[in-house]
Structure 1
Amino acid sequence: MAVHTGTMSESIVISAVQQKKMKVFLRLITGSDSKKGRLEINYKGEWGTICSHGFNHVDAAVACRQLGYCSGQRISNNYVNDGIGNIWLVDIHCSGSENKLINCTYSSDASHCSHEYDVGVHCYLSCPAEEDEGLLRLITGSDSKKGRLEINYKGEWGTICSHGFNHVDAAVACRQLGYCSGQRISNNYVNDGIGNIWLVDIHCSGSENKLINCTYSSDASHCSHGYDVGVHCYLSCPAEEDEGLLRLITGSASNKGRLEINYKGEWGTICSHGFNHVDAAVACRQLGYCSGQRIPNKYVDDGSGNILLVDIHCSGSENKLINCTYSSDASHCSHGYDVGVHCYLSCPAEEDEGLLRLITGSASNKGRLEINYKGEWGTICSHGFNHVDAAVACRQLGYCSGQRISNNYVNDGIGNIWLVDIHCSGSENKLINCTYSSDASHCSHGYDVGVHCYLSCPAEEDEGLLRLITGSASNKGRLEINYKGEWGTICSHGFNHVDAAVACRQLGYCSGQRIPNKYVDDGSGNILLVDIHCSGSENKLINCTYSSDASHCSHGYDVGVHCYLSCPAEDDEGRLRLISNFVEHKGRLEINYKGEWGTICHTRFDHVDAAVACKQLGYCSGEMIPSNYVDDGQGTIWLDDIHCSGSENKLINCTYSIDTSHCSHWYDVGIDCFLNCSTENEVNSVLDYKQLLLIAVPTIGVLE
C-alpha cells in the first residue's frame, strides 16, 4: 500500500516497501490524480528526476510495481510538470523482470537532458485478467445508441483516440455492447471526453468479440479529446433482402420530395454527393413509379437525424437502391445536401412523349412554351434555345414556322423546368426529338422559353410587304413590314439612307431617306427586323441582310422614312425660291428637293453660299442674313452643312448633307440678294460698310 505526503496541489507517493525500510528510493510527484505524475528517484542520498530519453512502458511498469501498483505506463512529457534540481538517470532499459528501477541498465550522465524531458508515469489501480479487461460504455445524448465510446482499461474508464478507427472497429465495439452492428461517427458529432485517452490505432479484423482483442497502441500521447471515438450502434440488422426501404417526404406534389431510407432499422436521409438521375430512377422504380430524376438541393427541405448513405452509384438495372454501390461514411455531409427526387407519374412511349402548348396573352401565336414530359407539364429553359429550335416547336404546334422571343416578353412559369440546352437541326418533327439535357437545376423561371409562331409563311417572292404609317404627309412616316403573316415595325439600329431608299422604291417612290426617331410615332406589337443592311440594288427590303432577333430593341427606335415624290435628273434638281414679306429680294431661302419644297439649315451657311443662291435666283450676288430676321418655315428641312466655292451656278452643286436631324426651323437660312452689282469695288465697299455696321450693332447679324 502507498501513502501520500505533501501539499494538496502536489503530493509525494511513497511505496509501502520504502516506507517500511524508511529508505525511500522512488516517489511520484502528482497532481489531482495520485497514481499519475512525475517520477523521482533518491540516488546517492538526494532526490532528483529521470530523463525520458529511451524510457518506455516496460520501464514504467517496473517503476510502478516498485511503487506498489500492479503495473503502469509512461505518459507524455506534455502532461508532466517540470522538476527542479538534479536529473539523475537517463537511457534506462528494463527487461521487465526487475523489482526495482535501479536494477535496470542506465546512464548517470544526463548532462544533455533538461527538466522538460522529466519522466512521467501512470500507474494502474488494477490489472485484471485478460478475459476481464476492456469493458465498454456509450456516453450518449438524446439517442441511446449513439455517442462517445469509452473503455475500462487497467481499472479506469477513459476514451479512445479515433486515429485509425473505422467502421469495422465500430461494429466490433457495438456487438460487444449488445447491438447487432454499428459504424463510426464523425468527431464533429462527439462531445469531448475528459481524463485518460487509453487506446489508439485500433485495428480489428471484424471477427473479435471484444474491442480489447483487436490490435492497438496504448501510446495516445499525440492525441487529444477532440479526436475521441464516437459510434452509432444499429438497433437491427435485417437480412439483405429486407434492407433499404424507401420513402418520399413530400410537399404539395406527392411524387417529389426528400428521399429517405431505412437502414439498419432506422430512417435517415441520403447525401447527394455523387447522386445522379440514374440513381434517382432506381429509387423511383423501387417506390412504384416508372422512373424519375434527381432535383436540386435548393428545392429539398433539410431532413433531421442520421445521414445514412453517400456516394451512391447505380448502373440502372438494380431493383433496389440498397443494391447499388455506396458508402455509409457520411461524416463530411450535412442535411443541406439531402437527396431529393422527382418521380415520374408516367413514362409514355417515345413516340407519345413531348406534347407542347403555348401559354399566351393577347396574341394566340406568341407566349411561353411548355412541354408535357413524363406525364407532367413544365417549362423549358432558354439557355441555348434559338430560332431553329423555335421553328421546330411551332411546326409541332401546327404553325408553319416561328422564332424565339426575348425572356423580357415571357411571363414566368411555375412548377417543373423540364428541359435545357435544346439543339435542333431543323428537320425534326417534334421538339423532344432534338438533343437536350434534363438537368435544369441551374435555371430559373426567369429564363423560361417563349416563342412567336408565324401565322403564315409566304413564298420568298411574296414575303415582306411594306406600308407607311403617316401623319399629315402621305410620303413620310413609320415604316412597317408584313413578315410571316403579321405586320410589325423595324428597329432603326443600323438602318440608314440606303436602306430607306430601297424601302421607298418598293413602296413606289423614286427614292427616300431615313428620318430621325424623334419625328416617328412609336408603333405597337411586334418589332420584326433589325440590323438591316442593303447594298442599294435590291428591289425589296426583305432581300437585304437582316436579323429577326429584335429582343434588345423598343418601339422608341422604330424606323421612319421620308420617300421622295420625284427624283428629277441631276440638272433639274434643286430649284430655289425666296419666301419674303415686304422686300422681294430678301427672305427665307427654300429648295425643291426630290419633288418637294423645304428649308435649309443655316449650320455653316455663309455669304459665299448665299451669293451662289442669289445668282441662281437671277440676282448679281447676295449675303446671308441672321436667323432672327427670318420667319420660321415648316415641313421638311432638306439640306445642311452647305459649302460652296463660289463658282457653282446652282446651290445643289455645292457640297451638303441631308442629315438635318439636329436642326429646327428656328435655324432656317435667310438671304438678302443684291438688286445690282455696279462694280466689284462698289460691292466690296457695300460689304465693308455692312461689316462696320454689324460691328457697331452686333445684334443685326454675323458676317463671316
Structure 2
Amino acid sequence: IPCSAFLARIYCPLILFLDLDLGSSEALRLVNGPHRCAGRVEVFHSHQWGTVCDDGWDLNDAAVVCRQLGCGTAMSALGLSGFGEGSGPIWLDGVSCLGTEATLTECSFKPWGHHACNHVEDASVVCSGSGIASIPKLRLVGGLGKCAGRVEVFHNNNWGTVCDDSWDLSDAAVVCRQLGCGVALSAPSSAQFGWGTGPIWLDDVSCTGKETDFFECPAKMWGSHNCHHGEDAGVVCSASNSSSVDLQLVDGPHRCAGRVEVFHAGQWGTVCDDGWDLKDAAVVCRQLGCGGAEGAPPQARFGQGTGRIWLDDVACAGSEDALAQCRARPWGQNNCNHREDASVVCLGTGTTNMSTVRLVGGPHHCAGRVEVFHNEQWGTVCDHGWDLSNAIVVCRQLGCGAAVSAPTRAFFGRGQDPIWLNSVTCVGTEHALVECQARPWGNSGCTHEEDAGVVCAGDAHSCGALKAQL
C-alpha cells in the first residue's frame, strides 16, 4: 500500500473492509468469475493490479489462494486465461507453493514483474466456497487483536470455549490458518487470555496441523468434556505482530526508559499500572529492541500522561514478542487515572545503530536478502549454517515480528558487494545479529549464490503503520 495520506485513505479502508490478511502490502482477488471465490488471479503491487502467469501453476498454488481469501479448498487451478485475459502488468511468474502457506507472498516466485508470458497465460482458480458471508464459527478473544486470544467456537447459536486438554501447536496452526493470521507462535493453556463464559464446546482436540478447517480436527462430541474455564485454550498467531501496538517510552532519560504509551484509534494514550510487573516490562523492552527489563515502575514515575488510558490489567507471560499478544481489558476500558500510569526501564539505552542490518530484494522491508553494514559498506551473509534461529534475531532487530522462514541459495537474488559474514550461529535470544557467533568479518569462502535471506511475519508498510495519517 503506498505510503501517502491520499492513497492510504483510498486503499487501506478497502483492504480492511475485505478483511484481507496478506502478510505483506500486496492484495489478492479473483475476478471475472461467477463469485469472489472463482476467477482470474490478480495481485496488487506497486499501486496497480496485475495478473499471475500460469507457468508451473498447479493445485498447491490454488490452495493457498483459496485459503488466503477464506474461500475453502481449491477445486481447480486453471491456466490459459480460463476466466479471460487480464490487462496491465503480469506481476508474478514461476509461483511455487507447497500448499500449506497462509498467503501467496510466502510462496517462491520470480522477482516482481519478471516473466516471459502474455495475458493468454493468465492463471485462474476455482475454490469450493462461494464467498457468501456467514456467521463466523471461530474467533480469538481477550487479546489485543483478532490474531491472539482465547479460542471460541460458535455452536448451537452460542459462543463457547475449547478445553486445553492435549491442546498444542498443531491445533493452534489450524486456527491461525483458518483465521488468515499467519503461522502459530504458541498455544497457551490454563486460560492465559482469561476465563470464558458459557459452554465449553470442545475437548481433546487433536489436529495434525495440516487441516484447512478447525472443525475437521478430531475431538470429543460437542459439549462433552471434564473441564472448567480455568482450562480454556488460547492461540497466538504471527499476524498479531504485524498488527501490533505502536509503542513508545516517553519523558525518560533515553528511548528505552519512560512512561509507556501506545497508539490506538489515531491517538497516543497510556497504560494503567494495575497488575503491571516485570513480565509486562520485559515484553515492552523486547518489542522496542531495548534489551531486558530492569524495572516496571508504577504510579506515573516518569510523569502523568494526557489523553486516553488505553490499556488496563495487562497480563503478559513475559515471553511474548509484542504487547499486542498479551492479555488485557478491551481498548479504553479501565478504572484508573493518570496518577497510575505505568512505566518501564530497560537495560539498553536504545543507542544501538539498528541500520547495521537490512533486508533487500523482497516485497517489503521485513523480507529479503540479509545485508549487514561493516567497514562503511553493505555486504551479504553466507547461508552456511543459516537457520530459523538466525532469522529470529534479524526479525527482532528490525522490529519485524516473528521469523517465518530462513531462505538460502540467494532466494531473494544475489548481492554484489562483499560477503561479510559466514557460519553465523545464533541462539535465537540475541537482540542483534552482531551478538551471534560467526567467522571473522569477510572470511567467507562463499559466492553470492549462497546469500542468506529472511522472511518475517511483520510488515512496517502495512495499513496499520498509516493510522496516524488517516
Bigger CA radius of gyration? 1
Higher relative contact order (CA 8 A, sep 6+): 2
TM-score relative to the length of structure 1? 0.20
